[in-house]
Amino acid sequence: MLLIRIGVRDEHIRVIDISKHAVKQDDDDNQYQLICAGVSAIAVGLCNAIEEICPEQSSIDVVSDEDDSSALNHITIVVVEDSLDLQTVLKVGRYQLETVANSYENYIDYKITEV
């Protein structure tokens, strides 16, 4: 199951953590693989947008599978210096991830918590 955690403080996103996506499953569930691909595309696009628009305002950590460097297993985005631009990008990513999570509740564990 994919895990998506969004940490907020004072209605501002402080951290987005996405894990267990693009992990090879023993049962080779095609729908799971498609959902993982969708979440990965959102996550990579979010990281690229942050790097392009406000690169100094966050810390992005991407961990790939040791056996397959194209398989992203864990992405963490942490706000270092808050700004309107960064919050706008993060909120777009949040809504995209939330939409996928609501559509595929059996595959994605999505939580927003106060940090």
pLDDT tens profile 3-52 = 999 999 999 999 999 998 655 555 567 888 889 889 999 999 999 999 99
DSSP string, 22-85: SPPPTT--HHHHHHHHHHHHHHHHHHHHHHHH-GGGEEEEEEE-SS-TT-EEEEEEEESS--HH
- The residue assigned the tokens 């080779």 is 28
- Whether 92 contacts 28, CB under 8 Å: no
Residues 6+ apart with CB under 8 A from 70: 64
54-78 confidence digits (pLDDT tens): 999 999 998 876 665 555 689 999 9
The total number of residues shown for the chain amounts to: 115
Say what the pLDDT of residue 32 is.
87
Tokens of 37: 């691909």
Domain 2-114, architecture per CATH: 2-Layer Sandwich (3.30)
d(CA 1, CA 72): 14
**Domain assignments of the chain as residue spans, ordered by start:** 2-114
